[in-house]
């Protein structure tokens, strides 16, 4: 059974960098797309980006200048860094995996972690 678990700081100061990690258990990381998706309180879902099994990435154009994703297959983890955060980045952040090797839709999700941007 594939399981994903986000971990992060909970609170981030404006203008600082948000760093999140998704730990994966129950399957290899090498054969799927892996994504970050966020949801501001009371609002809809926003795709942040995904990372290919090769380690190459595709980001949401609206966030591209501030986003960096990476993968460490030896640790079964992938990570998100979002720079220069503002209150608008306050959201629940989910990591997710496609259900099949070529899927860019998301069959497995972490429980989500709420990140608040505030001084």
Partner 1 sequence: DIQMTQSPSTLSASVGDRVTITCRASQSVSSWVAWYQQKAGKAPKLLIYKASNLERGVPSRFSGSGSGTEFTLTINNLQPEDFATYYCQQYGDFFLTFGGGTKVQI
Contacts to partner 1 by CB under 8 A: 35, 44-47, 50, 58, 60-61, 94, 96, 99, 103-107, 109-112
Between residues 18 and 93, which has the closer beta carbon with respect to partner 1?
93
Between residues 32 and 106, which has the closer beta carbon with respect to partner 1?
106
Between residues 41 and 74, which has the closer beta carbon with respect to partner 1?
41
Least CB distance from residue 104 to partner 1, whole Å? 4
3-class DSSP string for 58-90: EECCCCHHHEEEEEECCCCEEEEEECCCCHHHC
Least CB distance from residue 16 to partner 1, whole Å? 26
Both tokens of 16, joined, read 């600082």
CB distance 22 to 4 below 8 Å: yes
Both tokens of 70, joined, read 């990476």
Least CB distance from residue 15 to partner 1, whole Å? 27
Between residues 75 and 104, which has the closer beta carbon with respect to partner 1?
104
Instruction: Report the SS3 class of residue 28.
Output: coil
**Biggest distance spanned by C-alpha atoms of the chain:** 41
């Amino acid at each position: 059974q594939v399981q994903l678990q986000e971990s992060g700081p909970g609170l981030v100061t404006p203008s600082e960098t948000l760093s999140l990690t998704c730990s994966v258990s129950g399957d290899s990381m090498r054969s799927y797309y892996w994504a970050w998706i966020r949801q501001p309180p009371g609002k809809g879902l926003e795709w942040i980006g995904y990372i290919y099994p090769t380690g190459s990435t595709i980001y949401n154009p609206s966030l591209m200048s501030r986003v960096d994703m990476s993968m460490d297959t030896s640790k079964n983890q992938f990570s998100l860094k979002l720079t220069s955060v503002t209150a608008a980045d306050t959201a629940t952040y989910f990591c997710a995996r496609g259900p099949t090797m070529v899927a860019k839709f998301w069959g497995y999700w972490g429980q989500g972690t709420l990140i608040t941007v505030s001084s």
